[in-house]
């Protein structure tokens, strides 16, 4: 399909230009809102043109950096090229690119890690400063000037509303038949003018099929024809399958005990191999007529839809492997009736998560013996990716699981530690921890009771005696016995790893 077929608004034809010409419209120091959420729907041409422009400016002795705000992560051709060119000053709210991560941890990029449900409203409130330019990927523009959203909605609605100028990348690669899959809600407002969001089921449609834009703000339209980042999901390994089986057994037990309704509550699943293993386990599990209410629709949820186990899935982004994306394209009519893509201020909305009773499953880097969770930092100071939406769902979900293998780095790191080196989710937001060793249900337990079940059920046998020894001595030495700690040793495991390459004692 040609660009003229996708850009049906004749008023914008005169603004079609090259990516290089459009990049020249973005000044140094600008706050730039870009589309993109978990490697989907991000601009493909503009970031590379901006990177080239930055390099030329640097070569001429002129400074050039911009501040980049997105929905979540993008890809190497966006975050990666911009970071490599030294073109990013500030970045928010999430990143997975290794080049950008290196710059963040070197202190060259000012990274702001945020709850994903907070980003749009904080920008709208003016907390983050003024947005100068929005760079948004769309699938097309109707004759009336409405924008057909792409494979991710993210924060695009807000960026289009608050930016001074708008640059549109029209991507002719994704299937045009995605039109109609989106549900863009325009009922939000700034306090005190907010009203309840009228959604009571995960598959309710409450908005419009298109993004609105003030055509006078559109300064450039750029063509691209390129697919999203290919996500590579490894086949579930033994650990992932064991974790998945524990979660499914637990859900079955909760249903038998009457703590879950027979009609299973909506499912939220984080991104990654363990999450996909859980979704794969649901394919053969005892639950039918499932609903998804999540941030990112990945391969496992597509499998559930195709099998009929899941009736509909709501998300803000579709992020698939190459094989799954081919299936999505070839069966777009089937999926368009079963997938709803929304702005992330709706997909991650804490009130909706609580109202719908979402069952949340998210990964972590480490947990401590009292149930505090570190989702973001390696050894306390090096950023991995960011908190993402895990906090939105963990605090407000009906049930909340945090999952991880019990060890990392060939067994040299325990993912269950005396004290987390960084805390993203406090013990108050943690209900259930699962490793391949077992499942710890922390509901209704005091800190000392939590420590007992976490050590017994989740810690690796190589580290279990060390953890128990720490607790036993803390009970004797701690100033208080509500949450016993030996402050001089609480982070010694992390320091030992930094010093010796292993948390194990000699």
Residue 298 to residue 294: CA distance in whole angstroms: 10
Structural tokens at position 139: 């699938």
Residue 489: strand, helix, or coil: coil
Cis peptide before 477 (omega within 30 of 0): no
Could you tell me whether strands 133-141 and 147-149 are parallel, antiparallel, or unpaired per DSSP bridges? antiparallel
C-alpha pair distances (Å), 475 with each of 334, 468, 504: 59, 11, 22
Partners of residue 438 on adjacent β-strands: 435
DSSP string, 297-339: E-HHHHHHHHHTSEEEEEESEE---HHHHHHHHHTHHHHHTTE
Catalytic site residue from 84, 295, 366, 436: 295
Q: What's the burial of 227, exposed, middle or buried (CB within 10 Å: 0-12/13-18/19+)?
A: middle
| Nearest to 33, CA basis, from 82, 67, 73 | 67
Residue 457 to residue 134: CA distance in whole angstroms: 48
Residue 387 to residue 467: CA distance in whole angstroms: 26
Structural tokens at position 503: 């948390």
Structural tokens at position 482: 């509500």
Residue 40 to residue 475: CA distance in whole angstroms: 49
Structural tokens at position 168: 């549109």
Residue 156 to residue 185: CA distance in whole angstroms: 12
Q: Give yes or no for a contact between 327 and 302, defined as CB atoms under 8 angstroms apart.
A: yes
Partners of residue 408 on adjacent β-strands: 413
Residue appearing with tokens 């608050």:
162
Q: What angle do CA 10, 12, 30 make, to 5 degrees?
A: 170
Catalytic annotation present for 329: no
Task: Provide CB contacts within 8 A for 504, sequence distance 6+.
Answer: 412, 462, 463, 466
Q: Give yes or no for a contact between 360 and 278, defined as CB atoms under 8 angstroms apart.
A: no
Structural tokens at position 491: 């982070």
Task: Provide CB contacts within 8 A for 99, sequence distance 6+.
Answer: 76, 79, 80, 83, 84
Active-site residue numbers? 295
């Amino acid at each position: 399909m040609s660009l003229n077929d996708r850009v049906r608004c004749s008023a914008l034809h005169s603004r079609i230009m090259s990516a290089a010409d459009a990049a020249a419209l973005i000044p140094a120091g600008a706050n730039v809102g870009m589309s993109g959420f978990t490697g989907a729907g991000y601009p493909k041409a503009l970031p590379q043109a901006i990177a080239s422009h930055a390099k030329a400016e640097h070569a001429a002795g002129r400074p050039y950096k911009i501040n980049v705000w997105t929905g979540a992560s993008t890809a190497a051709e966006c975050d990666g090229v911009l970071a490599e060119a030294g073109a990013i000053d500030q970045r928010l709210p999430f990143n997975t690119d290794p080049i950008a991560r290196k710059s963040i941890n070197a202190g060259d990029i000012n990274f702001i890690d945020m709850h994903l449900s907070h980003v749009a409203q904080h920008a709208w409130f003016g907390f983050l400063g003024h947005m100068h330019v929005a760079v948004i990927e769309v699938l097309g523009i109707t004759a009336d000037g409405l924008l057909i959203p792409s494979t991710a909605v993210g924060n695009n609605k807000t960026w289009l509303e608050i930016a001074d100028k708008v640059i549109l990348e029209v991507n002719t690669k994704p299937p045009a038949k995605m039109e109609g899959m989106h549900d863009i809600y325009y009922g939000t407002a700034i306090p005190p003018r907010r009203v309840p969001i009228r959604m009571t089921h995960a598959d309710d449609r409450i908005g419009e099929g298109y993004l609105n834009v003030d055509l006078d703000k559109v300064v450039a339209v750029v063509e691209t024809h390129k697919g999203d980042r290919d996500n590579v999901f490894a086949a579930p390994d033994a650990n992932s399958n064991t974790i998945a089986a524990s979660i499914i057994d637990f859900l079955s037990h909760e249903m038998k005990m009457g703590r879950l309704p027979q009609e299973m509550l909506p499912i939220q699943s984080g991104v990654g191999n363990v999450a996909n293993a859980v979704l794969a386990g649901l394919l053969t599990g005892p639950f039918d007529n499932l609903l998804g209410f999540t941030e990112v629709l990945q391969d496992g949820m597509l499998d559930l839809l195709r099998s009929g186990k899941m009736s509909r899935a709501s998300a803000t982004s579709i992020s698939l492997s190459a094989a799954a994306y081919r299936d999505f394209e070839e069966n777009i009519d089937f999926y368009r009736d079963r997938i709803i893509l929304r702005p992330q201020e709706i997909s991650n909305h804490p009130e909706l998560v609580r109202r719908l009773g979402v069952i949340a499953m998210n990964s972590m880097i480490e947990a401590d013996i009292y149930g505090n969770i570190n989702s973001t930092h390696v050894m306390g100071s090096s950023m991995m990716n960011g908190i993402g939406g895990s906090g939105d769902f963990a605090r407000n979900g009906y049930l909340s699981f945090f999952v991880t293998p019990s060890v990392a780095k060939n067994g040299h790191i325990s993912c269950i530690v005396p004290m987390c080196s960084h805390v993203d989710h406090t013990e108050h937001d943690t209900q259930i921890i699962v490793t391949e060793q077992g499942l710890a249900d922390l509901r209704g337990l005091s800190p000392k009771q939590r420590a007992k079940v976490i050590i017994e059920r989740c810690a690796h046998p190589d580290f279990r005696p060390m953890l128990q020894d720490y607790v036993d001595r803390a009970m004797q030495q701690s100033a208080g016995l509500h949450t016993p700690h030996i402050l001089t040793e609480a982070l010694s495991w992390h320091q030992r790893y930094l010093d010796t390459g292993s948390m194990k004692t000699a």
